[in-house]
Structure 1
Amino acid sequence: MLTFKKPALEDQSWAEPLLYAAGFGSCEYAFSNIYMWWGAYGIEYTQAEGFFVSRSIDGDSAIYNFPAGPAVDDLTALRRVFDLLREDCRALGKKFVINGAGERQASLLRALFGDDIQLQNNRDYFDYVYSAPKLAALPGKKMHSKRNHIAFFEKTYNWSYEPITRQNIPDCLAMNEEWCRQNGCSTSESLQIEHCAVKKAFADYEQLGLRGGLLRVDGQVVAFTFGHAISKDYFDTHVEKAFGDYRGAYPMINREFAKTLQDEFLFINREEDLGEEGLRKAKLSYKPELLLEKYTVTLED
């Protein structure tokens, strides 16, 4: 019988290597993301048969992420861990659901369970994946407007860029509070949840191994961003915030941070749009290399 637990920093030493080894590119496989958001979504996890497995409960469903570990393509090993997950689900009396499964995971599930699975994708949860070098350079005619906004920012403001460190995290937190005030966090449940997640990440920034950068104008932080590697090829951007009244701040922080990543990673995952029209338009405007399709999978018992 599996024993799931709430996320804790000390688990990163065993959990992160398993998540990293799977080589999945989706945002669900960054330990720092799990740690930031577990309180909002009731995420728990455990280690089973050499795999990292996570679970949350939503109504009559037990929702598991596809197991992660170095043997992720070994169908025999996967069958053993899925037997344990199904046993756990039966003990809970819930419907068995796999969430956030990409095409690679879906193919493995088809090989394991054939017609016993039902797959449904949801466009709102597709991850936007970009070429790291292209985000750093913004080349071509399609990126002309981005470069114009950046040029305006560079010419108009007395700006500087710096990596996020222990010393400047208080400045980021102050900017986050003001951003929330300006954007109505007090009346938006989703923004309140995000606000708490950002504060949690900054509280344990160094221990989580997060990487980020900030923009200052006349010494004041006007934008910041941070994230974590998911695999050897993918970096996941967890958060990006900027004051909207500084024209060009968003493309500027995006570009400057991408410059620091382009020599280490092929791709930058900028996560989902959650069905928000403005966010979808903004993410598409950067011309993603691919939309990482993700399925919700139900398995008949």
Structure 2
Amino acid sequence: MKIQNSFRLLTVSDYSRLKPFFNPLKYPLAIYSLSSLIAWNNELNPTYYTMEDNLLLLMTAGTLPEYPKCRCLLLPLSPFREVTPPELAELARRHCLSTFCFIPESYVEHFGLSSIRTLFSLTEQPDYSDYIYLKKDLTELQGKRYLKKRNHINYFRRIFLETGRTTIEALSPVNIPDTLLFLDRWCAKDSRCNPETDPNLGQESQAARLMLENLELLEARGIAIRIDGEVCAFGIVTSLTDKIKVLNFEKAYSHIRGLYQFLDRECACRLFEDVEFINKESDMGIPGLAGSKKSYFPVNRVRSYKLSLLNGKRN
């Protein structure tokens, strides 16, 4: 696929240079986490960027069936202002890219449907609407609706934690090699962990590895859980807005009862101390993943939209 000359491939080395465009960030969709964008950047889902007039332009060129079957721009980012719909239209024409993807509903509400629909057609992307939770809900797990979660956690605590078999550690250069070894073993237990077998799960494992290998550089935080000295679970969090952080990755051995629920609660308690809300990203239209996310009772879904320039040039 030919890419406009002004765009370059996003890499880990771009993090410090591009960070000012994401601070402060107003958009609550997890895709606007710079750390996550870099981690998920791969051959199947490449992301490119360019800068002009104090704006950062990001372009996805994904080839996955679940992604829009064209190159598309994300909302331009600026440390100073939001970009108006007429400016979006002008950028689209200038770069011969007629589509903007992953437009959060807050942008649509701010500028209004009427101002957007004079320039673009608007289509919801339901598979990429993020799940938002109250941190308090996931740390306390109060009420009947969380009874099963608490039962699993209590079992795990009784068998593994209270007997001294379990330790919880902040991710650091000291334990990242063991965590990467766990990720390899976790993938070995699931044939879908190959991008050719299951593009979504395969790409996720690649993204988690890149995040682990560059944890400090990407300013991510995480925890690892050891059972009998071996890492058996980990979680990684990155920043998004002043009220929301993203739980980007959670991996645990599924055959250990209660481990996943215990990990989820420990992540909520230890990694979100300075925010009100937890973003657990979208379900990408995967039924099993959707069921898991709904079982924690989100307080909101952040809708994602696609804007297509009216009378625009097709990609």
**TM above 0.5:** yes
Which deviates more, 98-107 or 27-36?
A: 98-107
Residue 125 of structure 2 is aligned to residue 118 of structure 1? no
2:245, 2:272 within 8 Å by CA — same for their partners in 1? no
Q: Tell me, what secondary structure is at the counterpart of 2:39?
A: helix
Residue 28 of structure 2 is aligned to residue 28 of structure 1? no
1:16, 1:30 within 8 Å by CA — same for their partners in 2? no
- After superposition, the Cα gap between the structure-2 partners of 1:12 and 1:58, relative to the gap in structure 1 and judged at 3 Å, is closer
1:56, 1:63 within 8 Å by CA — same for their partners in 2? yes
Q: Structure 1 unaligned runs (5+)? A: none
Task: Give the aligned residue type for 2:188.
Answer: R
2:237, 2:271 within 8 Å by CA — same for their partners in 1? no
- After superposition, the Cα gap between the structure-2 partners of 1:7 and 1:30, relative to the gap in structure 1 and judged at 3 Å, is same
Q: Distance in 2 between matches of 1:4 and 1:199?
A: 26
Give the match for residue 298 of structure 1. Answer: 308
Residue 226 of structure 2 is aligned to residue 226 of structure 1? no
Q: Distance in 2 between matches of 1:125 and 1:58?
A: 14
Q: Distance in 2 between matches of 1:99 and 1:84?
A: 14
Give the match for residue 41 of structure 1. Answer: 45
Q: Distance in 2 between matches of 1:87 and 1:110?
A: 23
Give the match for residue 102 of structure 1. Answer: 104
Residue 60 of structure 2 is aligned to residue 56 of structure 1? yes
- After superposition, the Cα gap between the structure-2 partners of 1:41 and 1:58, relative to the gap in structure 1 and judged at 3 Å, is closer
Residue 23 of structure 2 is aligned to residue 13 of structure 1? no
1:21, 1:68 within 8 Å by CA — same for their partners in 2? no
2:89, 2:309 within 8 Å by CA — same for their partners in 1? no
Q: Distance in 2 between matches of 1:109 and 1:203?
A: 42
CA drift at 1:109: 7.0
Give the match for residue 148 of structure 1. Answer: 151
Q: Distance in 2 between matches of 1:98 and 1:81?
A: 8
Give the match for residue 212 of structure 2. Answer: 202
Q: Tell me, what secondary structure is at the counterpart of 1:257?
A: helix
Q: Distance in 1 between matches of 2:25 and 2:86?
A: 16
Q: Tell me, what secondary structure is at the counterpart of 2:154?
A: helix
Task: Give the aligned residue type for 2:46.
Answer: G
Give the match for residue 87 of structure 1. Answer: 94
Q: Distance in 2 between matches of 1:47 and 1:189?
A: 30
2:27, 2:241 within 8 Å by CA — same for their partners in 1? yes
Q: Distance in 2 between matches of 1:117 and 1:109?
A: 12
Q: Distance in 1 between matches of 2:293 and 2:62?
A: 29
1:19, 1:52 within 8 Å by CA — same for their partners in 2? no
Give the match for residue 260 of structure 1. Answer: 270
Q: Distance in 2 between matches of 1:175 and 1:73?
A: 42
State TM-score, norm by structure 2: 0.86
The count of residues paired between Structure 1 and Structure 2 equals 294
Q: Distance in 2 between matches of 1:27 and 1:136?
A: 21
1:159 to 162, 166, 169: 166
Q: Distance in 1 between matches of 2:305 and 2:56?
A: 19
Give the match for residue 70 of structure 1. Answer: 79
Give the match for residue 66 of structure 2. Answer: none
CA drift at 1:30: 0.7
2:122, 2:305 within 8 Å by CA — same for their partners in 1? yes
Q: Distance in 2 between matches of 1:283 and 1:268?
A: 12
Give the match for residue 226 of structure 2. Answer: 216
Residue 178 of structure 2 is aligned to residue 171 of structure 1? yes
Q: Structure 2 unaligned runs (5+)? A: 64-68
Q: Which has the higher helix share?
A: 1
CA drift at 1:162: 1.2
- Residue identity over aligned pairs, in percent, reads 27
CA drift at 1:17: 2.5
- After superposition, the Cα gap between the structure-2 partners of 1:288 and 1:213, relative to the gap in structure 1 and judged at 3 Å, is same
CA drift at 1:111: 5.9
CA drift at 1:116: 2.9
C-alpha deviations, 1:197-241, integer Å up to 9, x for none? 222112211111111111111111111110210111110111111
Task: Give the aligned residue type for 1:297.
Answer: L
1:44, 1:54 within 8 Å by CA — same for their partners in 2? yes
State TM-score, norm by structure 1: 0.90
Task: Give the aligned residue type for 1:205.
Answer: L
Task: Give the aligned residue type for 1:8.
Answer: T
